[in-house]
Amino acid sequence: MTPRERKNFFAGLGFTSLWIVGLGVFTAYPVIASLYYSFCDYSILKSAVWIGGENYQELVGDALFWKSLGNTLVFAALSVPLGTAVALGLAMLLNCDVRGRPFFRVVFYLPSIVPVVASSMLWLWIFNGEYGLLNGVLAPVLGWFGLTPPAWFADPAWSKPALVIMSLWGVGNAMVIYLTGLQNVPKELYEAAEIDGASAWKRFRHVTLPCIAPVVYFNVVMGLIGAMQVFAQAFIISDAANGGTGTHDGAPARSLLFYTMYLFTTAFHDLRMGYASAMAYVLFIVIAVLTWMATRLSRGNAE
């Protein structure tokens, strides 16, 4: 290394030193420490005691662990495909050359930047079984057929579907990414397909989808990771279902007990940091496996 290269190296190191310190203190250390604590009995108030793999063994027999994992997987299985379809559909509509297009793009993007707490309170009112906006519309229509609308967040059978519908409120970010991908599809391909007599569906299937496949893959993986970590909405709704008592048990009937909520209550309510750390690493492995499966599926479709 020449003196000039050495000078540039240390200058670059100096400029990035704050970032390196931040990465080490706020990311690398917590990751390594939580891995160690996952093999310990640790409650913050006392020193960690090494117990080997007991936390992981206890997870196998923990009914709430399986309940929360099942709820989370069901939510992800419903919300990711539906969110992908809605975001892509909106992006295709907003990619059309219509009057007021910038206005509609802003309107459909705005909900995604509304704070989670505010939007959760709004949806609590919309899905209220007695005086909510949605049931106010559905009740007269279903009444013609002798049916009554569901109680949504007050009904264990409908709480997760309601949360999935609520999650569509935030598809604006994915919609913008899809819109960017659609605008990069060469117009010549559509013109050639039209000359060959391809229908709108065939143009979408054989031109649009292959061209935006990397964008779809990115959004699906990010949506999957986000769905597996769903927390704030369920946390607020569960608290409201318990009358605002500060109890977060996934009410009603633990149907909204998601994995991260159980992890949070285990760590900060029960002060079982070691057990919660083990849960965190299990979640990491589950997300890694699902991401690998999505990648394999994406490559299979590309081939």
Are both 210 and 291 inside the same structural domain?
yes
Are both 38 and 89 inside the same structural domain?
no
Are both 92 and 186 inside the same structural domain?
yes
pLDDT of residue 58: 95
Contacts for 203-211 with beta carbons within 8 Å, 24 or more apart?
A: 204/92, 208/92, 208/182, 211/181, 211/184, 211/185, 211/186
pLDDT tens column, 107-147 = 889 988 889 889 999 999 999 888 889 999 998 898 888 88
Separation between Cα atoms, residue 145 and residue 76, nearest integer Å: 32
**Considering the chain, what is the average pLDDT of its residues?**
90
Are both 119 and 232 inside the same structural domain?
yes
pLDDT of residue 252: 85
Are both 240 and 112 inside the same structural domain?
yes
Are both 184 and 259 inside the same structural domain?
yes
Are both 122 and 177 inside the same structural domain?
yes
Are both 113 and 69 inside the same structural domain?
yes
Would you place residue 247 in the very low, low, confident or very high pLDDT band (cuts 50, 70, 90)?
A: confident
Separation between Cα atoms, residue 210 and residue 224, nearest integer Å: 21
pLDDT of residue 298: 81
pLDDT of residue 129: 84
Indicate if the pLDDT at residue 97 is higher than 90: no
Indicate if the pLDDT at residue 21 is higher than 90: yes
8 Å CB contact between 228 and 287 = yes
Q: Which of 139, 140, 141 is nearest to 150 (CA)?
A: 139
Are both 166 and 259 inside the same structural domain?
yes
Are both 96 and 232 inside the same structural domain?
yes
CATH number at residue 215: 1.10.3720.10
Would you place residue 224 in the very low, low, confident or very high pLDDT band (cuts 50, 70, 90)?
A: very high
Q: What is the pTM of this model?
A: 0.89
- Between the alpha carbon of residue 260 and those of residues 64, 121, 222, the distances in Å are 12, 20, 17
Q: Which domain holds residue 30?
A: 1-51
Are both 62 and 19 inside the same structural domain?
no
How many domains are contained in the chain?
2
- Average pLDDT on 153-175 reads 91
- Average pLDDT on 82-96 reads 93
- Average pLDDT on 272-278 reads 95
pLDDT > 70: what percent of the chain? 99
Indicate if the pLDDT at residue 149 is higher than 70: yes
pLDDT of residue 44: 84
Are both 110 and 210 inside the same structural domain?
yes
- Average pLDDT on 53-82 reads 94
Indicate if the pLDDT at residue 71 is higher than 90: yes
pLDDT of residue 99: 83
pLDDT of residue 227: 94
